[in-house]
Amino acid sequence: MQRNYSVRLLTVIMFLFTFSVLASEEKKPEVGHEGKDLKTEIKEYINHHLQDTHDFGLYSYTTDNGEHKYVGFPLPVILWDNGLKVFSSSKFHHGETVAEVGGNFYKLYHGKVYKTDAQGTITYDDEHHATNDKPLDFSITKNVVFIFLVGLLMFVLFSRMAKNYKTSTMPKGIGRILEPLVLYVRDDIAIPNIGKKHYKKYMSYLLTVFFFVWIINLLGLTPLGVNVTNNIAVTFALALITYLITTFTANKNYWKHIFWMPDVPVFMKIVLAPIELLGTFIKPFSLMIRLYANITAGHVVLMSIIGMMFIFKNWIGSPLSFGLAFALSLLELLVAALQAYIFTMLSALYFGSAVEEHDDH
């Protein structure tokens, strides 16, 4: 009886949701700001939310006169263009104006800085890609700021935790929350995958990457709009560190089982060696893509569901979209911790294979 009731309730909800979708599609396309279709504007907003920016925007609004106001603060722009160019991102006015620095003109276009003329002209190729020169960009962007902040936060927290252990074996303050997590990384990730003999030299990195990925993922769920692990350059850097540690700490048995496997026919050794060598690059590549793709997909789906509330604008679709977005936000909290766990677990697994001591078969 309970099962039949649940099925009927789910059927009614799906019917109402489908009816809401059909009702919204029968209406004429709504027009958002600047005369754009509302769906197109939502897509552009999602793309903007996923991008890194040269300024930190809290929110924006439109005045009665139609003027778009931004609330936030600028960040330093650092360029190398026949010399060092340093100026505030406020000169770009969120990409709406051209910045003049030392007689050169720069324009912010799709999140990248291009060299241009006083009118901000952007030239394109046949595939509609900008062909203007791009100076080397070492700017302190929003993602860089939060990487520094999270690094500083971790340094302060763990420094205080280590200082407390000098006077007492019992954790104090925030240490009461951190200690179980540290023990979990040690006892359930490092030791089982690396072994008691070698795990200690990898613990500092495993703890760092676990807490960094977890905290930065949690910040991505806040209204601050921080999407650090959504940047493939960040996940590439993390995966590269794992690869370098694995490569430079590996013992002779690790390389022996890659280039000249024991008790394998010579012909098969020649065939398998390139495949095994390629596998050493595929492993960190999978680390990079997994973290990047999961976080990006979560943000895109969540922002799309939130955007559906503005498309439906009725008593059925909007509450259902809000409820679904709320449930997905709770799921994203689990995903934030799960991705930190997976990245740390696989890194420990690679370290363990690098230092494993094999017996000759």
Where in the chain are the domains?
A: 67-140, 143-355
Q: What is the pTM of this model?
A: 0.81
Beta-ladder partners of 166 = none
Q: Which of 112-116, 181-185, 217-221, 300-304 has the highest mean pLDDT?
A: 181-185
Residue 283 CA, chain-centre distance (Å), reads 19
Mean pLDDT for the chain overall: 80
Give 234's pLDDT tier (boundaries 50, 70, 90).
very high
Give 327's pLDDT tier (boundaries 50, 70, 90).
confident
Q: What is the mean pLDDT of residues 188-192?
A: 94
Contact of 309 with 318, CB cutoff 8 Å: yes
Taking Cα atoms as reference points, which of 237, 66, 219 lies closest to residue 145? Answer: 219
pLDDT of residue 257: 78
Q: What is the mean pLDDT of residues 105-127?
A: 86
Q: Which of 21-25, 250-254, 355-359 has the lowest mean pLDDT?
A: 21-25
How far apart are the C-alpha atoms of 251 and 355, rounded to whole Å? 6
pLDDT tens per residue across span 141-177: 888 999 999 999 999 999 988 888 888 778 777 888 8
- Size of the chain in residues: 361
Cα radius of gyration (the chain): 26
Give 26's pLDDT tier (boundaries 50, 70, 90).
very low
Helix axes of 266-312 and 317-355: crossing angle, nearest 10 degrees: 160
